[in-house]
């Protein structure tokens, strides 16, 4: 299983985690604060050392190891990354990302390809996922760009992920001892999003990405200018230990 736009299907599934966070045992929302995400041309750019050539880059990435709490021989890597398109005129389409997992001997124990269907001009795109079960513990996980194409796109035709307003984003304990993320978002355009959205959460610990999850089943149309609620469930447990999170709303445009 993989996260947003992974393999032939949309990034469907990634791994999960269950950190012992304040508020979980009481049934009240925990106190973890959501982070904010900004366009790459904001006052705090995604990457300070932008490449000379306008292109899509990985601005942040990270991973963590999860083990089944009942059988630690069952383990997998959760990963997440943020793509940033430094081209202000063109969109990136069909961008691939290669995830290679190696053991302490340098042997490859897992190799997967994730996909981002598009990254808007001057915009960002989260990609989240999990590997298949591993035969041994990883010593290194290499996350690198594969192929992708640049195509012309205007702002009238292309939603920017960073244009979406997310409000009230919270992390909640569930009745079965798990965790989810919920809140509301507003369609920034006066045009309806007929194919719905893919809400995505990226988890951080000490400022480093440790994984993420998405909900690629929100196919309900969202009318222009309206506000709708969202919920994101983990792809299993445990959820990686984390102290903050970012929520992104990705429009399903294809």
Concatenating the DSSP letter of every residue in 211-248 gives: EEEE-TTB-S-B-TT-EEEEEE--SSSPPPP-SEEEEE
- Distant-in-sequence, close-in-space partners of 174: CB < 8 Å, separation ≥ 6: 180
Position with higher pLDDT, 51 vs 177: 177
Give the per-residue pLDDT at 25: 29
Give the per-residue pLDDT at 216: 87
Position with higher pLDDT, 229 vs 28: 229
Position with higher pLDDT, 217 vs 243: 243
Give the per-residue pLDDT at 99: 98
pLDDT digit string, tens, across residues 158-167 = 788 999 999 9
pLDDT digit string, tens, across residues 99-126 = 999 999 999 999 999 999 999 999 999 9
Distance CA 78, CA 69 (A): 15
Give per-residue burial for 8-34: e unless 16+ CB within 10 Å, then b. Answer: eebbbbbbbbbbebeebeeeeebebeb
Please give the average per-residue pLDDT across 217-244, as a whole number.
92
- pLDDT > 70: percent of the chain: 77
- Distant-in-sequence, close-in-space partners of 137: CB < 8 Å, separation ≥ 6: 65, 75, 103, 104
pLDDT over 80 (residue 46): no
- Distant-in-sequence, close-in-space partners of 213: CB < 8 Å, separation ≥ 6: 3, 14, 16, 128, 181, 200, 201, 232, 233, 234, 235
Question: What does the mean pLDDT of the chain come to?
Answer: 82
pLDDT over 70 (residue 5): no
pLDDT over 80 (residue 183): yes
pLDDT digit string, tens, across residues 59-101 = 999 999 999 888 888 999 999 999 999 998 899 999 999 999 9
């Amino acid at each position: 299983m993989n996260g947003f736009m992974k393999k032939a299907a949309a990034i469907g599934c990634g791994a999960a985690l269950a950190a012992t966070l304040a508020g979980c045992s009481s049934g009240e929302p925990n106190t973890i604060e959501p982070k904010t995400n900004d366009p790459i041309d904001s006052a705090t750019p995604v990457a300070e050392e932008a490449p000379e050539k306008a292109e899509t880059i990985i601005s942040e990435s990270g991973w963590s190891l999860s083990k089944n709490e009942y059988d630690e021989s069952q383990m997998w890597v959760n990963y997440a990354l943020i793509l940033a398109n430094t081209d202000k005129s063109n969109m990136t389409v069909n961008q691939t990302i290669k995830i290679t997992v190696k053991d302490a001997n340098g042997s490859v124990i897992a190799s997967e390809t994730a996909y981002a269907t598009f990254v808007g001009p001057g915009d960002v795109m989260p990609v989240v996922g999990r590997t298949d079960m591993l035969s041994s513990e990883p010593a290194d996980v290499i996350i690198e760009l594969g192929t992708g194409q640049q195509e012309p796109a205007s702002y009238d035709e292309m939603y920017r992920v960073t244009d979406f307003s997310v409000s009230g984003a919270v992390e909640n304990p569930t009745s079965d001892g798990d965790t989810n993320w919920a809140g509301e978002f507003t369609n920034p355009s006066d045009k309806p999003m007929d194919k719905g959205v893919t809400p995505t959460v990226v988890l951080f610990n000490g400022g480093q990405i440790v994984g993420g999850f998405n909900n690629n089943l929100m196919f309900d149309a969202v009318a222009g200018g309206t506000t709708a609620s969202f919920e994101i469930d983990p792809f299993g447990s445990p959820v990686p230990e984390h102290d903050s999170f970012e929520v992104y709303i990705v429009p399903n445009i294809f």
